[in-house]
Amino acid sequence: MVKCSNCGSEIKKPIKVWTVTLGKTKKVKITFGTFKCEKCNKKFRISIGKEEIFQEEEAKGYPPPYLKMII
């Protein structure tokens, strides 16, 4: 749950949620949410989660380029 930045009340459900991928090699994915407080009617955005993305190495073709196939 998220607390309102103005009055401090707890908000359970976001209005909108989206993810952003940051970095030149896209290593971090951050999830943001827009919330609206029911008591003071203030809208605000806040970061909900942060996740690091580990990219796997691309699979190399077979046979390796240094081997020659004789047919």
Q: What is the pLDDT of residues 37-49, one digit of tens each?
A: 989 989 999 999 9
pTM of the predicted model as reported, rounded to 2 decimal places: 0.64
Please tell me what DSSP assigns to residue 68: -
Residue 58 lies in a domain: no
Residue 28, domain extent: 2-52
Residue 67 lies in a domain: no
12-70, pLDDT tens digit by residue? 899 999 999 887 777 889 999 999 998 998 999 999 998 888 766 666 666 666 766 67
Residue 29 lies in a domain: yes
Residue 16 lies in a domain: yes
The predicted structure's pLDDT at residue 24: 74
The predicted structure's pLDDT at residue 31: 93
Q: Report the domain count for the chain.
A: 1
Residue 40 lies in a domain: yes
Residue 31 lies in a domain: yes
Instruction: Identify whether the C-beta of residue 1 lies closer than 8 Å to the C-beta of residue 12.
Output: yes
Residue 70 lies in a domain: no
Residue 26 lies in a domain: yes
